[in-house]
Amino acid sequence: MILVTGAAGFIGANFVLDWLAQADEPVINLDKLTYAGNLQSLESLKGDARHLFVHGDIGDRALVDKLLAEHRPRAVVNFAAESHVDRSIHGPEDFIQTNVVGTFHLLESVRAHWGSLPEAEKSGFRFLHVSTDEVYGTLGPGDAPFTETHPYEPNSPYSASKAASDHLVRAYHHTYGLPVLTTNCSNNYGPFHFPEKLIPLMIVNALAGKPLPVYGDGMQIRDWLYVKDHCSAIRRVLEAGKPGETYNVGGWNEKPNIEIVNTVCALLDELSPRADHKRYAEQITYVKDRPGHDRRYAIDATKIHRELGWKPAETFETGIRKTVQWYLENTAWVAAVQSGDYRNWIGKQYGTTA
Ligand code: NAD
Ligand code: DAU
């Protein structure tokens, strides 16, 4: 079996659902259930003995030691993190606590466990750390996309905390020989994405008749990847990645934010037109920019393609259509995650109610 942390969140939940759809190898899901953790996303696994949910913190040494000793997973995949840049600007402390201190404690538990394994199990064991392209900082318009050797230049408390965790993971390989793998991925989108992030926020606000808040001039560029393609990349790296290596994962899909918002609006015009027959794009409102906002991210995903044969299955056009359709068909999930904490966040960030 494998131990997956943070698998009640957006990418972790998609990863577990895809994993169990393709193989029978059980998963222990260790998640703290912060505001971003939603067990409703794993509702389809209710009663499935292959999924064992454990409510807890990656920084809880006693709990993680016990889980590793009892279940002897052959791999740990670490998704658990505080993940929203805007929240890290309002309050960085949780980001340091989970992303840096939590990852450190998790590495310590894993190192002790790995060190105690018999040779056959030891050589097959893997610790896969899921990271982000944001650790590389920002690009100018003509700069080449980030490769794995690009210097780390994180600009937000979120990306700085992820960079720190990447460095710890790297050091545990270099110093102790722990068989680690790190993936640095671009912006994901797809089902079960918490509606504080750009794409799901635009979908739910549009349908609710609310403003669509675009930061600054809307010309910041992100490289978008359908979440299930990120999951297939992680499976491939776990299967064939070389310990100690990092792999960039991206969709070769660079787009300015305003184009993303206009695409979402056009799909909603087609799939769920406004009652007054006006266009959803009329709801777009330019708002104050994010402090320290990175202008452009772009991933060079040549290495994972060349060495491991991975490439994305979805184009942006197919992925975004599936995503908008998913939100239209899963209004109960959206309503369930728009809890008290969600309403508080929307009030704090946008000065409006959810
Ligand atoms: P998310 O915020 O949706 O989910 C995070 C999950 O981690 C939640 O279920 C939360 O309850 C859990 N968690 C938080 N702190 C924890 C702790 N101390 N112990 C155990 N569980 C804890 O995040 P996501 O978007 O699914 O991102 C998952 C990982 O992928 C993160 O490490 C993030 O940095 C990375 N990543 C995300 C993206 C993206 O576009 N979303 C892109 C690249 C990399
Ligand atoms: O690049 C990978 C990263 O992508 C991950 O590491 C992060 O966990 C993930 O949250 C995401 O970070 P971003 O900051 O790029 O994602 P977000 O959806 O918050 O914003 C995408 C872009 O849209 C960004 O340029 C800010 C802008 N934006 C966002 C929101 C929420 C808006 O213009 N308006 C908004 O209301």
Contact 226, 319 (CB under 8 A): yes
Whether pLDDT at 306 is above 80: yes
Backbone angles phi, psi at 333, to 5 degrees: -65, -45
pLDDT of residue 303: 98
pLDDT of residue 111: 98
Atom of ligand 1 nearest to the CA of 189: 40
Atom of ligand 1 nearest to the CA of 35: 11
Ordered by where they begin, the domains of the chain are: 2-191+226-251+296-313 (3.40.50.720)
Q: Which of 133, 254, 294, 314 is catalytic?
A: 133
pLDDT digits (tens, 9 = 90+) for 40-51: 999 999 999 999
**Does residue 222's CB lie within 6 angstroms of at least one atom of ligand 1?**
no
**Amino acid, single-letter form, for residue 5:** T
**Averaged over 311-333, what is the pLDDT?**
98
pLDDT digits (tens, 9 = 90+) for 242-275: 999 999 999 899 999 999 999 999 999 999 999 9
Among 6-20, 61-75, 306-320, 339-353, the range scoring the smallest mean pLDDT is 339-353
Our mutation pick for probing the ligand 2 site, out of 131, 197, 227, 265, counting the most ligand atoms within 8 A of Cβ, is 197
Task: Please tell me the distance between residue 66's alpha carbon and the centre of ligand 1 in angstroms.
Answer: 23
Q: Which of 57, 136, 158, 196 is catalytic?
A: 158
Please tell me the number of the ligand nearest to residue 39's CA. 1
pLDDT of residue 339: 82
pLDDT digits (tens, 9 = 90+) for 91-108: 999 999 999 999 999 999
pLDDT of residue 354: 65
Is 134 a residue of the active site? yes
- What is the spatial distance between Cα 100 and Cα 214, in angstroms, rounded to a whole number? 30
**Amino acid, single-letter form, for residue 221:** I
pTM exceeds 0.75: yes
Our mutation pick for probing the ligand 2 site, out of 166, 202, 222, counting the most ligand atoms within 8 A of Cβ, is 222
Task: Please tell me the distance between residue 188's alpha carbon and the centre of ligand 2 in angstroms.
Answer: 10
Contact 9, 79 (CB under 8 A): yes
**Averaged over 278-284, what is the pLDDT?**
98
Q: Which of 57, 82, 134, 166 is catalytic?
A: 134
Whether pLDDT at 33 is above 70: yes
Nearest C-alpha to atom 14 of ligand 2 is from which residue? 85
Atom of ligand 2 nearest to the CA of 156: 14
SS (H, E, C) 123-151: HHCEEEEEEEHHHHCCCCCCCCCECCCCC
Is 133 a residue of the active site? yes
Confidence bin at 341 (pLDDT 50/70/90): confident
Tell which residue, 288, 216, 316, 300, has the closest CA to residue 258: 216
**Does residue 150's CB lie within 6 angstroms of at least one atom of ligand 2?**
no
